[in-house]
A and B are shown apart, each in its own frame.
Chain A
Amino acid sequence: GAGVSQSPRYKVAKRGQDVALRCDPISGHVSLFWYQQALGQGPEFLTYFQNEAQLDKSGLPSDRFFAERPEGSVSTLKIQRTQQEDSAVYLCASSLVAGESEKLFFGSGTQLSVL
């Protein structure tokens, strides 16, 4: 596709429910990032993939958060037993080469609301 695509655009979950957020990066992009943006804050790093390898998951807030990119393209961020503090916009970004922040393309995000 022309850009990074994320789905769903909005997700409402009841506390305790599991959710899965999908990211389709730009075709051929090696690097894929997930960021979490809480209301009124800037994006915060969650995890980084280079192809299918998850090289850094230091930003994941708890073991309820899990991300995968099994074939080196589409990625899924899964949150188990959602809590109210998980409410945020989850942004996916991809780039052709790691570290090319000028050429980091973001999706529109998934807005997660946990009730």
Chain B
Amino acid sequence: DQQVKQNSPSLSVQEGRISILNCDYTNSMFDYFLWYKKYPAEGPTFLISISSIKDKNEDGRFTVFLNKSAKHLSLHIVPSQPGDSAVYFCAARRGDDYKLSFGAGTTVTVRA
């Protein structure tokens, strides 16, 4: 039972433009959300997070937006750079839990 869904398996964007990655969740108990980035042959690395008490969190070129009523979050990368080409995983957990539920990932390709 997939509680976190990333419905776009891939995204191609031109360098310098915005990348928008989407994620939906079904478990209303989730209150903490994270994005991880994964390069080939490496493990996922933490990118950015957001608590359910916020609707936006920004870190440099990366911004995560949370819409609790829609159970939807998105990651914006502006401007996109070639080094951003990777698989991006959306993940969620309950605040008192340690387990993460992951989406299937979105492969981002940034074209020069």
Contacts and interface: CB of A to CB of B under 8 A. Distances in A.
Do these two chains really belong together in a complex? yes
Interface of A: 4, 31, 33, 35, 40-45, 48, 56, 59, 91, 93, 98-99, 101-109
A108 B41 contact: yes
A4 B44 CA distance: 12
10 contacts: A40-B104, A42-B91, A42-B102, A44-B102, A93-B43, A98-B98, A102-B46, A103-B46, A108-B41, A108-B43
Interface of B: 4, 6, 9, 32, 34, 41-46, 49, 89, 91, 93, 96-105
Nearest to B87: A42
Nearest to B47: A102
Given A33-B99, A101-B34, 5 more contacts: A43-B100, A45-B101, A56-B99, A103-B46, A106-B43
A77 B20 CA distance: 37
